[in-house]
Amino acid sequence: MEALTRSLFLYLSKNALLNHLAKKHGRRWAAGKMIGGTDFQSSIPCIRHLNHAGLSVTVDHLGEFVDTKEIAEERTKECIQTIRMIHREQLDSHVSLKLTSLGLDIHRDLVEANMARILEAAEEHQVMVTIDMEDVPRCQATLDLFKQFKRSHRYVSTVLQAYLYRTASDLDDLNTLKPFIRLVKGAYKESRKHAFPNKQDVDDNYKKLIVKSLQNGNYTAVASHDDQMIEFTKTFTKEHRIPTEQFEFQMLYGMRTRTQLDLVKQGYKVRVYVPYGLEWYGYFMRRLAERPANIAFVFKNFLKK
């Protein structure tokens, strides 16, 4: 049943008509519930509210698979402006981005140049930029670019997905760079050739990755709503005397708000992923596909508004 639910939401995430209708008619419905706002400026009150509650933030301008240089340039400028505004407004926030939004599918030189401009602003204003992970065909290119930029920049991190067979090897490969890694289960539909088909295998691999990353001494973000993963991380770090300064929990805006606040009260760092922009529908469907329990969290959130 879980596999069917996942496939359904992934299918819906790519439906052009539903995406168009959501962008045209649903943005007010989503703002303040699943996204911070329709642009970064309108998201600032949401970020401030989270910061005042003791929660850190990472923001993401939704939209990927850009197919023109002009749009990639616009996304680059938007990201640079966001970094500057985070600094100016003194917000506790990182920035997440997808390389396809900067032209990864167009030309290597284009995405490299755009990313270099963004990281120049990140270094100047000391704002962390996380290169998000996408599907398998783009995985190696993403990691190659991350490694290239990590050698010369401090404020850059990336994401690894527990459902891929290759991820443990990737984590080993990145270790010499002492990276800031966000560990997630993974939200794309991948074949058995590349990804564990069973949830239990994904969960087991996720735990192994958490252990490996923390034992390597790297700063680790455990990005999960799963109580099992949260409790595993808390227990492991206590037993091995790993300081809370070496890791954080990350969760999505609009989901498990009470758990986020409880973790903060317990002395843990929690970062909330706050997307913004008009392209919210595909993101929303992928989050529901990623974990069916998210459906309950979403509807509870809507009922509170």
Q: At what angle do helices 167-174 and 199-215 cross, to 10 degrees?
A: 10
Local confidence band at 153 (pLDDT 50, 70, 90 cut-offs): very high
pTM: 0.86
CA distance 272 to 257: 9
Catalytic residue flag (residue 132): yes
Indicate which residue of 6, 75, 182, 256 is catalytic. 182
CA distance 76 to 82: 10
The confidence score (pLDDT) of residue 283 equals 64
Domain range enclosing 115: 2-304
Of 251, 289, 282, nearest in space to 101 by CA: 282
- Kindly report the CATH number assigned to the domain that includes residue 12: 3.20.20.220
Indicate which residue of 6, 60, 105, 132 is catalytic. 132
Domain count of the fold of the chain: 1
Catalytic residue flag (residue 182): yes
218-244 pLDDT, tens per residue?
999 999 999 999 999 999 999 999 999
Residue 107 in this model has a pLDDT that exceeds 80: yes
117-144 pLDDT, tens per residue?
999 999 999 999 999 999 999 999 999 9
The confidence score (pLDDT) of residue 242 equals 97
Residue range 291-304: mean pLDDT, rounded: 52
Residue range 196-220: mean pLDDT, rounded: 97
